[in-house]
Amino acid sequence: MTGTADPNSTVQLWETAIGWDDMQPAKDWTSPGETGPVLATADGSGNFSIRRFVDSGFLFQVRQGSVISNTITVKAKLAVKFWMPDPQPHAVTAGKLTVMGDALPAQPGLPVQIQRRPLDGTTWTTVRTTKTAGETAKFTETLTGQPGGDHYWRAVFSGDDSQGVIGTTSGEVKYWTPGGSTTTPPTTTPPTTRPPTTPPTTKPPTTPPTTKPPTTTKPPAPATPAIQFTRIQYDPPGTDSGSNGSLLNEYFKITNMTKKAININGWTVRDGKGIVYRFPNININVGQSYLVRTGKGKDSGSFRHWGRAGKAGYVWDNLGDIAYLRNPAGGNVDICKWTKLGPGYTNC
């Protein structure tokens, strides 16, 4: 980011993530304590520049004393990777291949379309839709029934407007798939055997009925929770001073992973010590997230507040805790657990 100020003056960067509306001094994550301000000094002509790593969309200002600049919006465009493992786990299976990819910023739940086109064609066909998942925003998909031979492949990553993340398309990967999509073996006509002219005089012994071994039923795979934790910031940046600004930077986020809206009236989130947040009568729409900050503030849209205060107001234990999302009947819908400090957050 570049700007102008009084020659040789010092300006300080202020910021807020898109959707948060809590403009505050930016912290220098590259400093030893990761708490210092982000400053820039204008040259003799008044020009300055600031470099800043962003993991989502942000609103930025600079301030020189009591003078406040205009606000600019900076969105984060995904940096993505898309590849096929080599060797393939199904290298000799006709029409079958595995594709993988990930995104940075590492945001889970982003829709991804896996597409294919022939070498001599221009039309892309979507063969699978998936989502990024986990702390690395990675996906792994096994595709079947694909045409054999060389094709171009790519992944189209959707962004997230609510957090200022811009989607993008991966580079094209040329890959050969064995065998084609037809896996049925050719039909072989057995040779015709002429029956004996003289019927047997002895009745063949009766073959006892074959007893089939009992069928072993594979247990069903665990279902993806309808609503699940997608991020918990258990250690807010800076010193745990107990200020409302610090408490607002401790939060949890849940996301509707289904294809229908769900009413979460009476649902709760609690920590390992039994501190409880109860949701009001609201719907969480398809793909929508609700972010609940620990501190006090005005609820608006998808942002809610726990309303806690002071040093005793922090909910999540930095060195290890467990979060439970429960329905009104007390059943666990999702659980998120961490056992060490780490980066101060988990994407569950």
For the chain, 348 residues long, give each residue's pLDDT as a single digit of tens: 999 999 999 999 999 888 777 788 988 766 555 567 899 999 999 999 998 877 778 999 999 988 999 999 999 899 899 988 877 776 668 889 899 999 887 778 899 999 999 999 899 999 999 999 876 788 999 999 999 888 999 999 998 888 888 999 999 999 888 765 443 333 334 444 344 444 444 454 455 545 555 554 544 444 668 899 999 999 988 888 899 988 999 999 999 988 888 999 999 999 988 899 999 998 888 888 899 999 999 888 788 999 999 999 999 998 889 999 999 888 889 999 988 767 888 888
Cα angle: 48, vertex 76, 50; to 5 degrees: 10
CA distance 106 to 178: 33
Alpha carbon 190 to its chain's center: 54
pTM exceeds cut of 0.75: no
For residue 245, give the nearest of 11, 21, 29, 18 by alpha carbon: 21
Closest to 20 measured CA to CA, from 280, 248, 279: 248
**Cα atoms in the Cβ-side hemisphere of radius 13 Å centred on 173:** 21
Distance CA 172, CA 155 (A): 8
Which residues, including other chains, have CB under 8 Å from residue 183's CB and lie 6 or more apart?
A: 93, 94, 95
CA 278, CA 75: separation in Å to the nearest integer? 33
| Tokens 């020189």, located at residue | 64
pLDDT at residue 112, as a whole number: 96
